[in-house]
Amino acid sequence: MPDNSFVFRKNEIHYIGFMKSTFKFFALVFLYFTCLIFIYKMDNNELLLVFLSLSLMIPILYLIHDRYTQKALILSLQEESLKSELNLLKSQINPHFFFNTLNNLYGLAVEKSDKTEHVIYKLSEMMRFTIYDGRKESVTVNDEINYLKNFIELHTIRYKQHVQISFETNIESMEQRIPPLLFINLLENAFKHGVESLTENAYIKLNLSTSKTSILFEIENNYEPKTSTKKHSGIGIENLKRRLELLFPKKHTFTKDTSEHCFKTKIEISLV
3-state secondary structure 188-221: HHHHHHHHHHCCCCEEEEEEEEECCCEEEEEEEE
DSSP state of 235: H
What is the rounded average pLDDT for all residues in the chain?
Answer: 78
Instruction: Give me the sign of the Cα torsion angle 170, 216, 92, 248.
Output: positive
Whole-angstrom CA distances from 17 to 148, 214, 238 are 49, 43, 38
Answer for the pair 143, 183: CB distance below 8 angstroms, yes or no: no
Q: Measured between alpha carbons, how far is 255 from 237 in angstroms, rounded to an integer?
A: 12
Name the β-bridge partners of 204.
Answer: 165, 221
Q: Which long-range contacts (CB under 8 A, 24 or more apart) does 84-87 make?
A: 84/3, 85/3, 85/242, 85/246, 86/243, 86/246, 86/247, 87/135
- pLDDT, one tens digit per residue, over 58-97 is 666 666 766 776 666 556 655 655 665 556 556 555 666 6
Cβ 248 vs Cβ 270: under 8 Å: yes
What digits encode the pLDDT tens for the residues 204-260? 999 999 999 999 999 999 988 776 555 555 567 888 888 888 889 899 999 999 887
What DSSP designation does 272 have? -
Of all residues in the chain, the percent with pLDDT exceeding 90 is 24
Are 206 and 148 spatial neighbours (Cβ–Cβ below 8 Å)? yes
Name the residue with higher pLDDT: 40 or 270: 270
